[in-house]
Structure 1
């Protein structure tokens, strides 16, 4: 494996909270939808079929965890995954669950 340093207890707690946030299907669908580029709240609401209040709530949590970032354009805010690390985690795990497993 790689030479990853052993994280502090505080870092492990933050990491566990991040994975807990990813464990919610609604938040995960929002993140996956935003992989292809910035999306407005209205785009997320209409494409995923959630209420605006629900989407706004989950985006607030995802922003707080630095999983998404928002960019204001006039009166709208467009959301995208925060960085390449978040992008790679989502793509890698999606690829992983779609792989054929030869040991089954």
Structure 2
């Protein structure tokens, strides 16, 4: 991948993260996998809105959905690394939560 492709990829990732709900979901998942119901209880969103944001994060390869009985468990994708100072290394940049 050349530097122009990497810049486009990085800008695409940052566009996905330009939403406070999606950032909140990633911040929750930094502490470990969560079921949709758990995230919904914490974030206080309508289920359909949370599902939409999770779909966007899945498509951008930030999160992975895993069937857990009747529920769905979400966790950060392997491409998204949590650093020791509770930041997310996205490969193209590091996102630090204060």
Scaled by the length of structure 2, what TM-score is found? 0.79
Tell me the C-alpha RMSD between the 2 structures.
2.0
Greater share of helix: 1
Q: Partner of 2:10 in structure 1? A: 15
Greater share of strand: 2
Q: Partner of 2:46 in structure 1? A: 51
Following the alignment from structure 2 to structure 1, what is the Cα–Cα distance between the partners of residues 58 and 48? 15
Runs of 4+ in 1 over 2 A off after TM superposition: 6-11, 83-88
Unaligned runs of 5+ in 1: 1-5, 99-104
Structure ID, larger Rg: 1
Following the alignment from structure 2 to structure 1, what is the Cα–Cα distance between the partners of residues 79 and 12? 19
Unaligned runs of 5+ in 2: 88-95
Count of matched residue positions in the alignment of Structure 1 and Structure 2: 89
Scaled by the length of structure 1, what TM-score is found? 0.75
Where do 1:1-104 residues align within 5 Å?
7-83=2-78, 85-88=80-83, 91-92=86-87, 93-94=96-97, 98=98
